[in-house]
Structure 1
C-alpha cells in the first residue's frame, strides 16, 4: 500500500512537472495565451504607432491605439537619478537577473502567500512590469492574474534576450502614464517640472519614480503631502542601494516637491488640436446620410464635399494596403509629414494665451464680477440660462454614462447637484476642489474661447493651428470643427464681387441709411453722412450702409455664389440669401476664412489648407504626396484692388492699432469683424507670405462683453494676430521680413483699370 502511494506521488509530481513544462512551451510559442512575435518585440512601443512630423523635422507626436500622444527618448536622454531611483525602488537586482528575480519571487511567495504579510513587497522585476504594461490585458479576477504571471515571465525573458538593460529602462520610462496627459517620462518632466528628463534633480527623479507605484494615490497636485512621503521612501531606497548618502538624504528629504506644473505646455510645438483634427480627418469614413442625425444635414453636406475634393479627408479609407485592408493611423506605423512649423505653432499658442488667457479673461471676469447672470449676458432671462445649462448637461459625458446605466431623470438631477471631487482648469495650473457638476459646467463656460490659424497663401501650407485655449479641458475645435458668425470679415468678399463687376476702390457710393424690404441696417458712425464716398473709405471704416447698398446693387444670389467660390461651403448660407448677408450672419470656420483670404494675397487664386505634404509607410516608402488645391475666384486685377483697400483698413481704419499700438511696419492688409451683441470678435490679416485669422468669443453666443469697446474684434482678436506676427518677424530663422512687399505691378493704379462687363456670370475685360 505504501509502495503504491509513493508511486502515486512520484507519478503526480512527474505529471505536474510535465504539465508545467508543456504549459510553458505552449506559452513560449504562443499556443496558449498571447505572445508577441519577434517583430513586435523589436520595437514594442512604436512599431505600430504612426509618427507625426513638423515641417522643421521635429517629431511632434505619435498616434497609438491607446490615444496617448507619446514622444519617446532613448537611454542617453534620461537623468542618471531616474535610473538609480527606479532600480533602487523597483528592482535592486535588475542588472543581475535575466528578467525574473527568483530571490524576490521566492520571498514574495513565502511572505505574502504563506505568511500573509501584505507589506512584504512584490516579486515583479522592472522587465516584468514592462511586459505587463506592453502586452498584458487587464486581469479581472485572481485566477486570470495567476494565469497571466507565466505569460509575463516569458515575455520578460524574451525582452531580456533581445534588448539591453539600458533599452529596457528607456522603454519602461517611455511607456508609463504619469497622469495629467504626461504619458512617458519626457512629457512628465515637461509637465511637472518644465524641463527635459536629462536635467531632473535627485528629488524630482525620486518623485516621478514614486508615482510608478500608484500615480492616482500619489498625485502631486491632489495629494502633495502623500506624494512627498512617497518621494522620501524612494530616497530611502536609494540610500540602501548606495546612490544617496544618509547625510544627503537628511537634506533632500526636507526639500519641497518643487513643482513647476505646465500642463498646457506643448511638446515641441505639438499642437494638440491640430493632431486631433488631423487624426480624425484622415480616418474619416465616406459620408452616408443614414449615419448622420436629422439635425446634422449641414455636416453631412460639408463632409461630402471634403470627401470628393480633398484627398487627405478619409485618406485611410480611400487607400488600401497590399493586403486589401484600409490603412489605420493607430496600427500601421505611418510617418506623416505635416506643414506645421513648431516655432510658429509655439508663437501662435503663446499669443492666444497671452492675450485671451491673460488680459482679456481678466477683463471679462471683472466685468462679470457683480452680475447675477454671470457668465451670461444680463440681457437674457434666468429661464434661458437654465435651458442652456440643461442642454449642456445632456451633452456631457456624465449624463450619457448615467443614461447608459439606466439612471432615472431624478437620479441624474441628483448626481449633477451633488458635490464631487474634481480637477478644474485655471490659467495658472489645474486645481483640485469639490464642486457640483452643474456648477462646474457654468464655471467652464466663464472662459472665453479662441481659435487661430496661419497659412502660406501661395502653397496652402498651414503653419500654425490653435483650435482653442486648452485641449485637455476644451476639446471643441473652432479652426476646422466649429463655425461662428463672421460679421464684417465677410465684407471683403462683397467688395471683391464689386471689383469683378467693374467698380474700383475709388468708385463712389451714397453714404445714407436706407431700408431694403423691411430691413434697415444700422451703422456705428455717421461720419460723412449724406456724401458720396469711395469704396476704399467705406471698407476702411467698415461702413454697413455701403455694404447694404452694394449687395442690393449686385444681388444676394451673385454674392452667395462668390462666397462658395471663396470656399465658404456651409449650405446654411443660402438661407441668408438676402441683403442682410452683407453683414455676416452666416457661420464659418476659422480655417475656411483663412483659406478664403489667401485669394487676396495670391493673385485672385484661393489656396485650400494643406495639412500634410507626404505619407510614408513603416518601411520608409512614400505612399502618398499632396499638392495644394487651388481655385481661381477673382481676377488678378481685382486682387490688387482688394489689397489696396485692405491696406487702408490698417493705415487708418478699424485695424490701425496694428501700426500705432503694436508698431508693425510690414506691408499688410486686414479686416476686423464683430457680430451682434459682441458675441464674436474676428480679425483676418494678410501679408505677402502669410494669411492668418483669429476668432474670440464665448462657448455660447449669450456669453460676451456687454460693451463694444471690449467686445469688438479690434480688441478681442486683433491683438492675438499682432503678438503672433511680432514673434514671427523677430525670428529670423523663419525667413519672414517686414520689408517684403506684395507683388503688384509698379505702375498699377487701382482706380484706373479695365472696364469689366459681366454677362450671365462670364466676365470679359476691355482695355
Structure 2
C-alpha cells in the first residue's frame, strides 16, 4: 500500500513538476526583484536619496527666536515656524498618545511594521494604513509630497522603507519621536510641537495636559481637517481627540474610567496665532530683521554664505522687557481709542469739510492723496503687472470688498480704495520708547497702533518736529557754558535776534502762547511753563551752534541747523534719538548709545555676536543735574503738572484739581511736553532715575490734526500714555522702576536753592484743564 502511495505521489510531482518549478522560479524572481528594488532605491534609481551626512544632519528650516531680557520668546522669523525640542522636554502623555494612535508596535519594529503592511495589503488600506512613525518621518524629511499614479506611489513607498531602516540604525527611538514631532506641520504657521503648543494652548510642550496632547495628536492625521480652532472642523477635531483616548485605553495607557473621564472634558484651546503682523513688539521685530540682515553682511558663515534669519534657527537676545513692552502696548491701547474718538468727533464733514486736514487748500490735499495712491500696495502691484495707468487710477474709484482697521476690531466693508486711503488718513499714530539710561538697554519699542495695517515705524523710521522737548538742550547749553543757576531770573519780554547774527536770513522774534509777557521769570519757571521768550533769550546768549553741537553729542544724528529757531523745536528728529539724548541728562551727563541686541547665537549655542557699549561724556555732572532739576519743575507745575496728585494745597481749587487728575505720582519725575506748529505733533519725554521714556502722537500727515491746542498738545496727546504705562510698571514690583531721587553730584557748584518756590505760583494751564475732562479721568 505504501508503495502504491509513493508511486502515486511521484507521479503527481512528475506531472506537476513544471508548475512547481515555475512557481518557485516566480517566487524567487519576486523575492529577488523585491530586494533589488530596495537596492536600486538605495542607489538612487528612484530619485535622490539622502547621504550618510544628510541622515546625520537632516536639513530642516529652523525659526529664529527673538528672546527678551527676561527670557521670553517675543517673536520668531521663520520660513517654517519651527523651534526644535528634545525628547526629554516632551510630556509622557503626548508620547503615549502618539504611539497609541500612529504606531502601536513602534518599539518592536525596525522602521517597517510587517504586520501592519500585510494587513494594509490584504484589506487594501480599509483597516488602517501601514506607515510607521519612522516612515512618516522619512517622508517629511526626504521624500517630499505624495507622488501621483500607482508606480509613483510604489517608488515613494520603497524609498520611505529604505530611509526608515537607515533612520532606525542612525537614531534612537526617542530621537526619532522628537524629530517627527519637531517636523510636523500643525497648520496656522505652527510647524513642530513647540510652535503648536504655543499657538494652540500658549504653553510649552512639557506643560501640556493629557486632553491637550490628545488634540495635537489627533491633528496628525490631517491638521486642517481635524483643526480645533476652525469652526468647520471643531466637531471632527473633538471626535478624533476622543478616538485618541480610545486608542490609549486599548494600548493599556488609560483605564476605562480615565478614558471615559477624558472624553467628557470640553475641548478648549487658547489660540494665539504667530505671524509677523501679530504678537508682541511687532515694530521692534521688523527693525530687528533689518539689524540682523546688516550684521550678516559682515559676519558670514564659515562656508562663506550669509546667515538666513528665516531658516538658520538663530537666537537673538534682546534688551526688550516682555512685561514692560506689554504694559506700554496696553497703555497705548487704553488712551489712543479715546483720543481717536475725539479726533473723529472734530473731523466730521459738517465740522470740517476738508477732514481730516486743516489750513490747506484743495491742491495740497490732492497732492497728499496722490502721494498716498502711488505708495499703496495696489498701485505698486498693478504697475508691476504692466497695467495701464488710467486703468490703475480707475480701479481706485471702484467699490470693492475690504477689511479695514478700527479700534473696535477690523471691519468688513465695501468702499473704494480712494475712500479707504482718506479713511486711514484720519487715524492718529503713536510711538513709545523706553530705555535704561545707565546701560542704554531699550526696554520698550511701540512703533504704531497696529502693525498689520500701519507699517511705518514711529520710533526710528519716522522723524517729526520735536517742539518744546528740544528746549532742555538750550537750557543745558546755557547752564554748562555760562554756569547759570535754575534760579537765575530774566524779564519775560519779547526779544529780536537780528538778521544774519547767527546766519538766519530774517529777524527772529518769537511769541509766547497767548501773548503773555511782562513779569520776571526764573529758568525753572521758564522751562516749566515752556515760555518761548526765556528760551529765545538763552539762545541769544549762547548761540545756536553751541546748542546744535550739544544735540549732536547727545546722539541726535538728524540735521539740526545752527539757526535760532531750533530753540523752539523746529528740527525733525526721531523718537529713538530723543530718548537716547534725554538719557544723557539722567545718566549724569554721559551719553550711552541705545542698544537693542545683547548677543546672537547660532542653533548650536555658539555666540556669533556680542554688543560693545558706546559711551561719551557730554555734560558735566553739575550741568546735567541742574537740567534734570529744571525738568522736575515741569512736572511739579505747568505743562507736566497733571502727573501730580496736587499743586499748591492753599489754592481754592485744590480739591477739584486732585479729583480731576487720576495719576497722582508723588515721586521725582523729570519731563517735558512738546507741541509743534499748528499742534500737529504731541510729545512727552519723561524720566525717573533708571528709566527714560518718550512718547509721540500725531497723524501721518501734519495737516491732519486737532482743531485747537486744547487737544492737540503734548500734555493731552502723549503724556497720558506715559502716565498709564508708568502706573503699570510701578504696580509690578519685580521691575524695580525707581521712585527715588536723581543722583546729585558730590560737588555742586551751581546754586539750586532758590528762596522762592516758583512752582507754587504756577497756575494750571487752561488748555490742560479743558482737555482733562476727556483724557484725564479713568
> TM-score, normalised on structure 2?
0.74
* Matched residue, 1:280: 290
Question: Secondary structure at 2:536's aligned position in 1?
Answer: helix
For 1:79 and 1:416, locate their aligned partners in 2 and report how far apart those are by CA, in whole Å: 54
Match of 1:406 among 386, 396, 410: 386
1:140–1:427 distance in 2 versus 1, CA, 3 Å: farther
Whether the aligned pair in 2 keeps the contact of 1:264 and 1:470 (CA below 8 Å) is no
SS at match of 1:465: strand
Show the counterpart of 2:500. none
1:238-257 → structure 2 map (5 Å cutoff): 238=244, 241=247
Instruction: Pick one of 337, 346, 352 that aligns with 2:317.
Output: 337
The equivalent residue for 1:55 is 69
What residue number does 2:9 align with?
Answer: none
Q: 1:7 to 1:178 in 2, by over 3 A?
A: closer
SS at 2:644's partner residue? Answer: helix
Question: 2:475 matched to 1:495?
Answer: yes
1:320-331 alignment, distance < 5 Å: 322-323=302-303, 329=309
Q: Between Structure 1 and Structure 2, how many residues are aligned? A: 704
Deviation per residue, 1:553-588 (Å, 9 max, x gap): 4333333332222211124x33xx433322223222
Partner of 1:347: 327
- Cα distance change on mapping 1:18 and 1:155 into 2, 3 Å: closer
Question: Are residue 565 (structure 1) and residue 566 (structure 2) matched?
Answer: no
Instruction: Say if 2:230 is the partner of 1:228.
Output: no
Q: Is the 8 A contact 2:526 2:534 kept in 1?
A: yes
Q: Does 1:509 align with 2:494?
A: no
Cα distance between partner residues in 1 of 2:50 and 2:236: 35
Larger deviation: 407-416 or 495-504?
407-416
| 2:486–2:522 CA contact under 8 A, matched in 1 | yes
The 1:334–1:658 alpha-carbon spacing in structure 2 relative to 1, beyond 3 Å, is: same
Quote how far apart the aligned CAs of 1:604 are. 1.4
Distance 1:170 1:365, change over 3 A: farther
**2:733 pairs with 1:716:** no
SS of the counterpart of 2:640?
coil
User: Following the alignment from structure 1 to structure 2, what is the Cα–Cα distance between the partners of residues 435 and 89?
Assistant: 50
| 1:639-678 alignment, distance < 5 Å | 639-660=624-645, 661-678=662-679
Query: Does the CA contact (< 8 Å) of 1:45 and 1:175 recur in 2?
Result: no
2:591 aligned with 1:606: yes
Contact 2:487-2:753 within 8 A present in 1 as well: no
Match among 530, 543, 568 for residue 542 of structure 1: 530
**For residues 588 and 552 of structure 1, do their structure 2 counterparts lie closer, same or farther at Cα, with a shift above 3 Å needed?**
same
Contact persistence 1:480–1:590 (CA under 8 A): yes
Question: Closer, same or farther in 2 for the Cα pair 1:699/1:267, shift >3 Å?
Answer: closer
1:600 CA displacement: 0.6
Distance 1:436 1:205 in 2: 47
Q: Please, which moves more after superposition, 486-495 or 247-256?
A: 247-256
Looking at structure 2, the residues matched to 7 and 192 of structure 1 have their Cα atoms a distance apart, in angstroms, of 56
SS at match of 1:489: helix
CA shift in 2, pair 1:355/1:542, >3 Å: same
Does 1:630 find its partner at 2:610? no
| Distance change (3 Å), C-alpha of 1:344 and 1:655 | same
Separation in 2, partners of 1:390, 1:103: 70
**Larger deviation, residues 590-599 vs 146-155:** 146-155
Is the partner of 1:350 in helix, strand or coil? helix
Kindly indicate whether residue 513 of structure 2 is the aligned counterpart of residue 524 of structure 1.
yes
Q: What is the CA-CA distance between 1:193 and the residue it aligns to?
A: 5.5
Q: Out of 458-467 and 254-263, give the one that drifted further.
A: 254-263
Once the two structures are TM-superposed, the CA of residue 486 in structure 1 deviates from its matched residue by 1.6
Query: Which sections of structure 2, spanning at least 5 residues, go unmatched?
Result: 1-17, 498-505, 646-661, 755-778
Change (3 A) 1:151 1:188: same
SS of 1:701's equivalent in the other structure is coil
Aligned to 1:737: 738
Deviations 1:263-312 (A, max 9, x none): 5899999634333322321321xxxxxxxxxxxxxxxxxxxxxxxxxxxx
SS at match of 1:337: strand
1:444 CA drift (Å):
5.0
| 1:456–1:463 contact (8 Å) kept in structure 2 | yes
Counterpart contact for 1:58–1:268, Cα < 8 Å: no
**Corresponding residue for residue 57 of structure 2:** 40
Structure 1 distance, partners of 2:265, 2:705, is 45
Deviation at 1:329, TM superposition (A): 4.8
Work out whether residues 218 and 227 of structure 1, in 8 Å CA contact, stay in contact via their aligned partners in 2. yes
> Equivalent residue for 1:307?
none
Q: In the TM superposition, what is the alpha-carbon distance from 1:348 to its structure 2 partner?
A: 2.7
Give me the whole-angstrom Cα distance separating, in 2, the residues matched to 1:579 and 1:513.
14
Structure-2 separation of matches of 1:36 and 1:426: 53
Q: SS at 2:57's partner residue?
A: helix
Q: Give the whole-Å Cα distance in 2 for the aligned partners of 1:411 and 1:254.
A: 59
Is the radius of gyration larger for structure 1 or structure 2? 2
Whether the 8 Å CA contact 1:60–1:267 is kept in 2: the answer is no
1:292 aligned residue:
none
Distance 2:208 2:363 in 1: 53
TM-score, with normalisation over the residues of structure 1? 0.75
Structure 1 residues not aligned, in runs of 5+: 285-313, 754-767
* CA–CA separation in structure 2 for the residues paired with 1:581 and 1:203: 64
Q: CA deviation at 1:87?
A: 7.0
**What is the alpha-carbon root mean square deviation over aligned residues?**
5.0
CA distance in 1, matches of 2:355, 2:217: 42
The partner residue of 2:466 within 486, 489, 498 is 486
